[in-house]
A = this chain, B = another copy of it.
Amino acid sequence: MADRFTVVVMLLMSTSALALKKGELLDMSFSFDGNSLSYPGLGFFELTSQYRGPLNAIPWVEYNNILSPEHVGTHMDAPIHVSEGKLHIDEIPLSRFTCPAVRIDITEKTKLDRDYGMTVQDLQDWEEVYGKIPDDCLLFVYTGWGAFYPDRLAYQGTTRNDTFLDEQGKSLVHSPGVAPEAATWLLENRKISGLGLDAPSLDIGQDTVFKTHQILLGANVYGVENVANLDKLPNTGAWVYAFPMKIVGGSGGSVRLVAQLKADTSGAVMLSASFVTLLGLISVLF
**What is the count of identical protomers in the complex?**
2
Residues of B within 8 A of A208 (CB): 56-57
Q: Which of B33, B64, B94, B254 contacts A251 (CB 8 A)?
A: B64
Q: Are A245 and B252 closer than 8 Å at their CB atoms? A: no
Judge whether A121 is part of the interface by a CB distance below 8 angstroms. Answer: no
Rounded to whole angstroms, the CA-CA distance of A9 and B54 in the bound complex is 46
Rounded to whole angstroms, the CA-CA distance of A71 and B70 in the bound complex is 18
Residues of B within 8 A of A59 (CB): 84, 214
Q: Nearest Cβ in chain B — how far from A168, in angstroms? A: 13
Rounded to whole angstroms, the CA-CA distance of A258 and B246 in the bound complex is 12
Given contacts A66-B67, A250-B47, contact A209 B32 (CB under 8 A): no
Q: Give the segment of A11-19, A75-83, A153-161 that binds chain B.
A: A75-83
In the complex, per-residue mask of A232-246: 1 if CB is within 8 Å of any chain B CB, else 0: 000000000101111
Residues of B within 8 A of A70 (CB): 63-66
Interface residues of A, count at CB 8 A: 59
Q: Are B247 and A32 closer than 8 Å at their CB atoms? A: yes
Rounded to whole angstroms, the CA-CA distance of A260 and B241 in the bound complex is 12
Q: Nearest Cβ in chain B — how far from A179, in angstroms? A: 18
Judge whether A226 is part of the interface by a CB distance below 8 angstroms. Answer: no
Judge whether A60 is part of the interface by a CB distance below 8 angstroms. Answer: yes
Judge whether A90 is part of the interface by a CB distance below 8 angstroms. Answer: yes
Q: Are A80 and B62 closer than 8 Å at their CB atoms? A: yes
Q: Are B258 and A243 closer than 8 Å at their CB atoms? A: yes
Rounded to whole angstroms, the CA-CA distance of A251 and B80 in the bound complex is 31
Rounded to whole angstroms, the CA-CA distance of A80 and B249 in the bound complex is 32
Judge whether A175 is part of the interface by a CB distance below 8 angstroms. Answer: no
Smallest CB gap from A24: residue in B: B95
Residues of B within 8 A of A33 (CB): 247-249
Given contacts A32-B247, A243-B241, contact A50 B69 (CB under 8 A): yes
Judge whether A42 is part of the interface by a CB distance below 8 angstroms. Answer: yes
Rounded to whole angstroms, the CA-CA distance of A243 and B33 in the bound complex is 18
Rounded to whole angstroms, the CA-CA distance of A60 and B217 in the bound complex is 11
Q: Which of B61, B81, B214 contacts A81 (CB 8 A)?
A: B61
Residues of B within 8 A of A63 (CB): 42, 69-71, 81, 251-252
Given contacts A25-B94, A58-B82, contact A31 B248 (CB under 8 A): yes
Judge whether A262 is part of the interface by a CB distance below 8 angstroms. Answer: no
Judge whether A169 is part of the interface by a CB distance below 8 angstroms. Answer: yes
Q: Are A243 and B214 closer than 8 Å at their CB atoms? A: no
Judge whether A136 is part of the interface by a CB distance below 8 angstroms. Answer: no
Residues of B within 8 A of A50 (CB): 42-43, 69
Rounded to whole angstroms, the CA-CA distance of A27 and B241 in the bound complex is 13
Judge whether A5 is part of the interface by a CB distance below 8 angstroms. Answer: no
